[in-house]
Amino acid sequence: WGFALSGAWAEYVAVSCDIAGLKPSSATMEQAGAMPLVALTSLQAFTLAGAPWQSAPTVLVLGGSGGVGHIAIQVAKDLGAGKVITTTSAGNTDFVKSLGADEVIDYKAADWATALSPDSVDVVLDAVGEANCGDRALPLIRAGGNFITLVPGRAHLPTSSKAGVDQDFVLLSQAGASRLDILRGFADDGRLKVKIDSTFALSDIAAAVEHSQDGHVDGKISISMQPAS
């Protein structure tokens, strides 16, 4: 398994051995294909925030049932987070709790930025890209903490600063075999699982992209190299 920078919507893809690894024995081919991008992104983001942690920080994952978010909850716990808070809809509460979320905020019923107390979290991972997310998150973050967004553009970073709080945008750039092996260990230990929202045949790739863009995907979309039944 791995992450192909040139894309992987094909039966065969040539990649460097340096960015490929043995897939988890516990994962199907569809699961192994759907996991690396989001899992490597989560690992890179939390490593930037000091993981693996010994201090058991409180981590807020915005968008906990999405492709990155549901993996990030698990990776945060695997890397030593003491408490993981996440946002999702009420219908996904049990799902994100099953992944390790300790506190769940229904974003349709409450504003996470006011539901949490100032200086109550150490790391905020923005996997949603809400308007003014950085400015709204900054008061919640303790000194020594991190705000990390996965959404490009200055509009998602705070427009001000807070002493001791780092602000970063993460685009996956650390996709080596050693990192894949870390994630494989988590998966084979039963601590990292990907939820497949739906599976499309390669011939239906346009429909898969359309489904992805509708903004209501729980987990990941998988592309099967076999004809869909």
pLDDT in tens, 24-73: 999 999 999 999 999 999 999 999 999 999 999 999 999 999 999 999 99
Q: What is the DSSP string of 80-117?
A: T-SEEEEEE-GGGHHHHHHHT-SEEEETTTS-HHHHSP
Contact 25, 188 (CB under 8 A): yes
Torsion of CA 153, 154, 157, 162, to 10 degrees: 160
Q: pLDDT tens-digit profile of 180-218?
A: 999 999 999 999 999 999 999 999 999 999 999 887 789
> Across the beta sheet with 83-88, what order do the strands follow?
103-106, 83-88, 58-62, 121-126, 141-149, 166-169
> How much of the chain, in percent, has pLDDT values that exceed 90?
80
Contact 102, 121 (CB under 8 A): no
214: left (phi over 0), alpha (psi -120 to 50) or beta: alpha
Asked if pLDDT for residue 140 goes beyond 60, the answer is yes
